Structure 1
């Protein structure tokens, strides 16, 4: 079955971002360098998986956000709050963890690398 793996273009700070995400999620990353530039990274931690690289010269149109976000479905409210606290540190809060009104806890932030995260925890139905 096919699946989608997000690809993140970083502004020449992929290695710093990878270290940050390892601190948030744990996991491992395969990083390929060409000189000082990251030409490929593959990050995995449990069900979290993304790829990326440093922006290469000539990648016009990728200098700013394209309006996409990563959705992080969490296993618990505690996990959501922990990830949120780590991701928003040095970044920008859109909204802190809150009750959605439809049976979920949700949060939204942009991290220090400009990646937008939507976090969700579906509360058990009683």
Structure 2
């Protein structure tokens, strides 16, 4: 025999410990207690109409979140324009060419400015 005591906690209402409406239920086995749906604390019973309304609202919300996630992924993976990904690529390219320019300056003894001038002359942009 299993005795289960159900408490209804109501803050400061009830006795000194805040416990009100004590109720004892007896079960012959633990499986009887587990399978008893009538004494589940916080359980609410919904009509089929309410369940279908909630399912529709959840589907609408899930679709909205999916669209927001897809838009965010598109913006994050955008290569051109002002986005996080394009700025990361721009920074990496700049670091590569500054490193290349500094190493070239170390080997050729020409400053970065003179290297740019030589490149512009070779390309025919300046005379």
Q: Same fold (TM over 0.5)?
A: no
Query: More helix per residue: 1 or 2?
Result: 2
TM-score, length basis structure 2: 0.17
Query: More strand per residue: 1 or 2?
Result: 1
TM-score, length basis structure 1: 0.17
Q: Which structure has more RCO (C-alpha within 8 Å, separation ≥ 6)?
A: 1
**Over alpha carbons, which structure has the higher Rg?**
2
